[in-house]
Chains A and B, each alone.
Chain A
Amino acid sequence: MIEEGRALFLQIAESVEDSIIDGSLHDEGQAPSTNELAAFYRINPATAAKGVAMLVEKNVLYKRRGIGMFVAPGARELLLTERRAAFADRFVDPLLAEARKLGLGPDDLALLIRERMTAPAPTPEGSTR
Protein backbone atom coordinates (compact mmCIF):
# COMPACT_ATOMS: atom_id res chain seq x y z
CA MET A 1 0.00 0.00 0.00
CA ILE A 2 2.85 2.33 0.89
CA GLU A 3 5.66 2.66 -1.59
CA GLU A 4 9.28 3.40 -0.90
CA GLY A 5 11.04 6.49 -2.08
CA ARG A 6 8.17 8.99 -1.80
CA ALA A 7 7.23 11.15 1.12
CA LEU A 8 4.65 9.32 3.24
CA PHE A 9 2.50 12.37 3.89
CA LEU A 10 2.03 12.82 0.12
CA GLN A 11 0.94 9.21 -0.23
CA ILE A 12 -1.54 9.60 2.64
CA ALA A 13 -2.97 12.76 1.04
CA GLU A 14 -3.27 10.95 -2.30
CA SER A 15 -5.15 8.06 -0.71
CA VAL A 16 -7.75 10.51 0.62
CA GLU A 17 -7.88 12.24 -2.77
CA ASP A 18 -8.46 8.89 -4.48
CA SER A 19 -11.49 8.26 -2.27
CA ILE A 20 -12.88 11.67 -3.21
CA ILE A 21 -12.24 11.11 -6.93
CA ASP A 22 -13.83 7.65 -7.00
CA GLY A 23 -16.82 9.01 -5.10
CA SER A 24 -16.51 6.95 -1.92
CA LEU A 25 -16.04 10.25 -0.09
CA HIS A 26 -18.49 12.87 -1.31
CA ASP A 27 -18.79 16.64 -0.83
CA GLU A 28 -19.44 17.52 2.81
CA GLY A 29 -18.81 13.91 3.78
CA GLN A 30 -16.72 13.23 6.86
CA ALA A 31 -13.13 12.37 6.00
CA PRO A 32 -11.03 9.95 8.04
CA SER A 33 -9.30 11.57 11.00
CA THR A 34 -5.55 11.83 11.38
CA ASN A 35 -5.60 9.10 14.00
CA GLU A 36 -7.69 6.79 11.83
CA LEU A 37 -5.30 7.26 8.94
CA ALA A 38 -2.29 6.66 11.20
CA ALA A 39 -3.79 3.47 12.60
CA PHE A 40 -4.91 2.17 9.20
CA TYR A 41 -1.60 2.76 7.42
CA ARG A 42 0.43 2.03 10.57
CA ILE A 43 2.32 5.28 10.34
CA ASN A 44 3.32 8.00 12.73
CA PRO A 45 0.31 10.26 13.51
CA ALA A 46 2.44 13.37 12.92
CA THR A 47 3.01 12.19 9.34
CA ALA A 48 -0.70 11.57 8.80
CA ALA A 49 -1.42 15.02 10.23
CA LYS A 50 0.96 16.55 7.72
CA GLY A 51 -0.92 14.88 4.86
CA VAL A 52 -4.27 16.11 6.19
CA ALA A 53 -2.88 19.63 6.69
CA MET A 54 -1.78 19.65 3.05
CA LEU A 55 -5.33 18.80 1.93
CA VAL A 56 -6.73 21.57 4.11
CA GLU A 57 -4.33 24.03 2.54
CA LYS A 58 -5.41 22.86 -0.93
CA ASN A 59 -9.08 23.43 0.02
CA VAL A 60 -9.87 19.74 -0.40
CA LEU A 61 -10.76 19.25 3.25
CA TYR A 62 -11.90 21.64 5.93
CA LYS A 63 -12.16 21.35 9.65
CA ARG A 64 -15.32 21.64 11.70
CA ARG A 65 -14.17 22.42 15.17
CA GLY A 66 -14.80 19.65 17.63
CA ILE A 67 -16.33 17.37 14.99
CA GLY A 68 -13.66 16.50 12.49
CA MET A 69 -12.50 16.84 8.92
CA PHE A 70 -14.94 17.18 6.02
CA VAL A 71 -14.70 17.21 2.25
CA ALA A 72 -14.88 20.77 0.97
CA PRO A 73 -17.56 21.57 -1.64
CA GLY A 74 -16.07 21.40 -5.12
CA ALA A 75 -13.13 19.27 -3.94
CA ARG A 76 -13.76 16.55 -6.52
CA GLU A 77 -13.79 19.03 -9.42
CA LEU A 78 -10.59 20.58 -8.12
CA LEU A 79 -8.87 17.20 -7.91
CA LEU A 80 -10.11 16.06 -11.32
CA THR A 81 -8.68 19.19 -12.93
CA GLU A 82 -5.39 18.63 -11.18
CA ARG A 83 -5.17 14.92 -12.01
CA ARG A 84 -6.11 15.48 -15.66
CA ALA A 85 -3.35 18.05 -15.96
CA ALA A 86 -0.87 15.53 -14.54
CA PHE A 87 -2.21 12.60 -16.59
CA ALA A 88 0.11 13.09 -19.55
CA ASP A 89 3.21 13.30 -17.35
CA ARG A 90 2.27 10.37 -15.17
CA PHE A 91 0.87 7.94 -17.72
CA VAL A 92 1.28 9.04 -21.34
CA ASP A 93 5.00 9.84 -21.21
CA PRO A 94 6.05 6.45 -19.82
CA LEU A 95 3.69 4.77 -22.32
CA LEU A 96 5.32 6.64 -25.20
CA ALA A 97 8.82 5.86 -23.92
CA GLU A 98 8.08 2.11 -23.88
CA ALA A 99 6.30 2.30 -27.25
CA ARG A 100 9.32 3.98 -28.81
CA LYS A 101 11.54 1.20 -27.48
CA LEU A 102 9.31 -1.40 -29.12
CA GLY A 103 8.90 0.49 -32.38
CA LEU A 104 5.18 1.18 -31.93
CA GLY A 105 4.00 4.35 -33.64
CA PRO A 106 1.11 6.66 -32.72
CA ASP A 107 -1.30 4.78 -35.00
CA ASP A 108 -0.41 1.42 -33.42
CA LEU A 109 -1.00 2.94 -29.99
CA ALA A 110 -4.32 4.49 -30.97
CA LEU A 111 -5.45 1.12 -32.31
CA LEU A 112 -4.37 -0.68 -29.13
CA ILE A 113 -6.14 1.85 -26.92
CA ARG A 114 -9.35 1.65 -28.91
CA GLU A 115 -9.24 -2.15 -28.79
CA ARG A 116 -8.76 -2.25 -25.04
CA MET A 117 -11.39 0.38 -24.33
CA THR A 118 -14.07 -1.50 -26.24
CA ALA A 119 -13.07 -4.94 -24.92
CA PRO A 120 -14.90 -6.13 -21.80
CA ALA A 121 -13.06 -5.28 -18.58
CA PRO A 122 -10.96 -8.23 -17.41
CA THR A 123 -12.43 -10.06 -14.40
CA PRO A 124 -10.40 -9.85 -11.21
CA GLU A 125 -9.40 -13.54 -11.11
CA GLY A 126 -8.86 -13.63 -14.85
CA SER A 127 -11.55 -16.33 -15.07
CA THR A 128 -13.75 -16.63 -18.14
CA ARG A 129 -17.40 -15.98 -17.76
Chain B
Amino acid sequence: MADPQPRLIAIDGSDGRAVSEAAVALQRELNDRQITSGVSHWDASGLFNDVHSAPIAHRDLSPRTLLLLYAADLAFRLRWEIEPALERGAIVIAAPYISTAVTFGLASGLSREWLLTLLRFAPVPARTAVLREGQRDQPWKRRSDRGFGECCTTLLEDTPEGFARRKTRGRMIGALSTAAEKHGGQYRLKDLTDLAEEITRKKPARSAQRDYAE
Protein backbone atom coordinates (compact mmCIF):
# COMPACT_ATOMS: atom_id res chain seq x y z
CA MET B 1 0.00 0.00 0.00
CA ALA B 2 1.30 3.48 -0.80
CA ASP B 3 2.21 5.56 2.21
CA PRO B 4 -0.34 8.20 3.11
CA GLN B 5 0.84 11.80 3.35
CA PRO B 6 3.31 12.48 6.13
CA ARG B 7 1.38 13.13 9.26
CA LEU B 8 1.94 13.84 12.93
CA ILE B 9 -0.09 11.71 15.32
CA ALA B 10 -0.09 12.61 19.00
CA ILE B 11 -0.75 10.13 21.79
CA ASP B 12 -1.41 11.73 25.15
CA GLY B 13 -2.25 10.47 28.61
CA SER B 14 -1.25 10.73 32.24
CA ASP B 15 0.33 7.26 32.46
CA GLY B 16 3.80 7.38 30.91
CA ARG B 17 4.10 3.66 30.38
CA ALA B 18 0.66 3.40 28.76
CA VAL B 19 1.51 6.26 26.38
CA SER B 20 4.76 4.57 25.33
CA GLU B 21 3.07 1.20 24.92
CA ALA B 22 0.28 2.71 22.84
CA ALA B 23 2.81 4.43 20.58
CA VAL B 24 4.71 1.20 20.00
CA ALA B 25 1.45 -0.70 19.40
CA LEU B 26 0.29 1.88 16.86
CA GLN B 27 3.65 1.76 15.12
CA ARG B 28 3.32 -2.04 14.91
CA GLU B 29 -0.14 -1.70 13.39
CA LEU B 30 1.22 0.75 10.81
CA ASN B 31 4.21 -1.48 10.06
CA ASP B 32 1.78 -4.34 9.42
CA ARG B 33 0.23 -2.12 6.77
CA GLN B 34 3.68 -1.38 5.25
CA ILE B 35 3.55 2.24 6.36
CA THR B 36 6.76 3.89 7.49
CA SER B 37 6.41 5.43 10.90
CA GLY B 38 8.55 6.54 13.79
CA VAL B 39 7.94 7.24 17.46
CA SER B 40 9.17 10.32 19.30
CA HIS B 41 9.28 9.63 23.02
CA TRP B 42 9.36 12.01 25.96
CA ASP B 43 12.81 13.17 27.17
CA ALA B 44 14.68 12.41 23.98
CA SER B 45 16.83 15.43 24.89
CA GLY B 46 17.83 13.86 28.22
CA LEU B 47 16.97 17.10 30.06
CA PHE B 48 14.70 15.43 32.61
CA ASN B 49 17.24 12.70 33.18
CA ASP B 50 19.93 15.34 33.75
CA VAL B 51 17.73 17.23 36.18
CA HIS B 52 16.90 14.04 38.04
CA SER B 53 20.61 13.22 38.29
CA ALA B 54 21.41 16.60 39.88
CA PRO B 55 22.05 16.81 43.62
CA ILE B 56 18.76 16.77 45.50
CA ALA B 57 19.46 20.15 47.12
CA HIS B 58 19.40 21.82 43.68
CA ARG B 59 16.20 20.19 42.51
CA ASP B 60 13.76 22.65 44.04
CA LEU B 61 11.42 22.90 41.09
CA SER B 62 7.95 24.29 40.53
CA PRO B 63 5.34 22.98 38.07
CA ARG B 64 6.01 25.99 35.85
CA THR B 65 9.72 25.21 35.65
CA LEU B 66 8.86 21.61 34.77
CA LEU B 67 6.59 22.81 31.95
CA LEU B 68 9.40 24.99 30.60
CA LEU B 69 11.60 21.90 30.72
CA TYR B 70 8.94 19.95 28.84
CA ALA B 71 8.84 22.71 26.20
CA ALA B 72 12.63 22.58 25.82
CA ASP B 73 12.51 18.81 25.42
CA LEU B 74 9.69 19.12 22.89
CA ALA B 75 11.67 21.71 20.90
CA PHE B 76 14.55 19.22 20.79
CA ARG B 77 12.26 16.36 19.71
CA LEU B 78 10.73 18.50 16.97
CA ARG B 79 14.09 19.50 15.57
CA TRP B 80 15.88 16.19 15.75
CA GLU B 81 13.12 13.60 15.46
CA ILE B 82 9.69 14.81 14.40
CA GLU B 83 10.37 17.36 11.66
CA PRO B 84 13.13 15.36 9.90
CA ALA B 85 10.91 12.25 9.87
CA LEU B 86 7.95 14.20 8.49
CA GLU B 87 10.24 15.63 5.80
CA ARG B 88 11.25 12.08 4.87
CA GLY B 89 7.58 11.29 4.39
CA ALA B 90 7.06 9.17 7.49
CA ILE B 91 4.18 9.16 9.90
CA VAL B 92 5.40 10.34 13.27
CA ILE B 93 3.82 9.25 16.52
CA ALA B 94 4.63 11.82 19.19
CA ALA B 95 4.04 10.20 22.54
CA PRO B 96 3.42 12.29 24.54
CA TYR B 97 2.77 15.62 22.83
CA ILE B 98 0.97 18.88 23.63
CA SER B 99 -2.14 17.69 25.50
CA THR B 100 -0.09 15.86 28.12
CA ALA B 101 1.82 19.03 28.95
CA VAL B 102 -1.21 21.32 28.84
CA THR B 103 -3.37 19.10 31.06
CA PHE B 104 -0.55 18.55 33.57
CA GLY B 105 -0.10 22.32 33.69
CA LEU B 106 -3.82 22.92 34.12
CA ALA B 107 -3.93 20.31 36.90
CA SER B 108 -1.06 22.14 38.59
CA GLY B 109 -2.88 25.48 38.50
CA LEU B 110 -1.17 27.12 35.53
CA SER B 111 -3.22 29.15 33.08
CA ARG B 112 -4.37 27.65 29.79
CA GLU B 113 -3.28 30.80 27.96
CA TRP B 114 0.28 30.57 29.28
CA LEU B 115 0.52 26.88 28.43
CA LEU B 116 -0.83 27.24 24.91
CA THR B 117 1.29 30.24 24.09
CA LEU B 118 4.41 28.60 25.47
CA LEU B 119 3.87 25.56 23.26
CA ARG B 120 2.66 27.37 20.17
CA PHE B 121 5.92 26.60 18.37
CA ALA B 122 4.80 22.98 18.13
CA PRO B 123 2.76 22.11 15.02
CA VAL B 124 -0.81 21.02 15.54
CA PRO B 125 -0.99 17.25 15.04
CA ALA B 126 -3.23 15.74 12.39
CA ARG B 127 -4.72 13.54 15.07
CA THR B 128 -4.59 13.45 18.86
CA ALA B 129 -5.39 10.16 20.55
CA VAL B 130 -6.06 10.63 24.24
CA LEU B 131 -5.78 7.37 26.16
CA ARG B 132 -8.73 6.24 28.22
CA GLU B 133 -7.89 6.15 31.92
CA GLY B 134 -10.47 4.89 34.35
CA GLN B 135 -9.10 5.26 37.85
CA ARG B 136 -8.79 8.90 38.74
CA ASP B 137 -7.67 8.25 42.30
CA GLN B 138 -4.51 6.31 41.37
CA PRO B 139 -1.45 8.41 42.17
CA TRP B 140 1.58 8.42 39.89
CA LYS B 141 4.39 6.05 40.75
CA ARG B 142 7.74 7.53 41.66
CA ARG B 143 9.50 6.41 38.50
CA SER B 144 11.58 9.14 36.96
CA ASP B 145 12.21 7.20 33.74
CA ARG B 146 8.61 6.16 33.05
CA GLY B 147 7.00 9.34 31.80
CA PHE B 148 6.42 13.03 32.34
CA GLY B 149 3.89 12.74 35.19
CA GLU B 150 5.92 10.09 36.99
CA CYS B 151 9.14 12.08 36.64
CA CYS B 152 7.43 15.26 37.87
CA THR B 153 6.12 13.30 40.85
CA THR B 154 9.62 12.19 41.75
CA LEU B 155 11.04 15.68 41.37
CA LEU B 156 8.23 17.56 43.09
CA GLU B 157 7.93 15.13 45.98
CA ASP B 158 11.59 15.69 46.76
CA THR B 159 11.00 19.40 47.28
CA PRO B 160 10.28 20.78 50.76
CA GLU B 161 6.79 21.66 49.51
CA GLY B 162 5.92 18.12 48.44
CA PHE B 163 3.40 17.22 45.75
CA ALA B 164 -0.25 16.20 45.85
CA ARG B 165 0.24 13.46 43.26
CA ARG B 166 -3.12 11.76 43.70
CA LYS B 167 -5.11 14.98 43.46
CA THR B 168 -3.05 16.40 40.59
CA ARG B 169 -3.31 13.21 38.57
CA GLY B 170 -7.08 13.11 39.12
CA ARG B 171 -7.35 16.67 37.84
CA MET B 172 -5.12 15.88 34.88
CA ILE B 173 -7.24 12.87 33.89
CA GLY B 174 -10.31 15.11 34.09
CA ALA B 175 -8.65 17.70 31.84
CA LEU B 176 -7.55 14.98 29.42
CA SER B 177 -11.09 13.71 29.25
CA THR B 178 -12.29 17.21 28.34
CA ALA B 179 -9.52 17.51 25.73
CA ALA B 180 -10.49 14.13 24.28
CA GLU B 181 -14.00 15.40 23.59
CA LYS B 182 -12.48 17.99 21.26
CA HIS B 183 -10.14 15.52 19.65
CA GLY B 184 -12.64 12.79 18.90
CA GLY B 185 -12.87 10.64 22.00
CA GLN B 186 -10.60 8.50 24.11
CA TYR B 187 -8.75 5.39 23.01
CA ARG B 188 -7.99 2.05 24.56
CA LEU B 189 -5.09 -0.04 23.33
CA LYS B 190 -7.44 -2.23 21.29
CA ASP B 191 -8.87 0.86 19.56
CA LEU B 192 -5.50 1.58 17.97
CA THR B 193 -6.29 -0.79 15.10
CA ASP B 194 -9.09 1.58 14.14
CA LEU B 195 -6.74 4.53 14.43
CA ALA B 196 -4.19 2.79 12.20
CA GLU B 197 -6.95 2.12 9.67
CA GLU B 198 -7.95 5.74 9.76
CA ILE B 199 -4.36 6.90 9.26
CA THR B 200 -3.87 4.64 6.26
CA ARG B 201 -6.71 6.36 4.46
CA LYS B 202 -5.46 9.18 2.26
CA LYS B 203 -7.67 11.75 3.90
CA PRO B 204 -8.02 11.82 7.66
CA ALA B 205 -11.56 11.09 8.81
CA ARG B 206 -11.57 14.05 11.15
CA SER B 207 -10.33 17.57 10.83
CA ALA B 208 -6.57 17.72 10.54
CA GLN B 209 -6.15 21.21 11.88
CA ARG B 210 -7.52 21.48 15.33
CA ASP B 211 -7.03 24.60 17.26
CA TYR B 212 -5.98 23.85 20.79
CA ALA B 213 -7.11 27.27 21.86
CA GLU B 214 -10.73 26.40 21.07
> Are A and B associated in one complex?
no
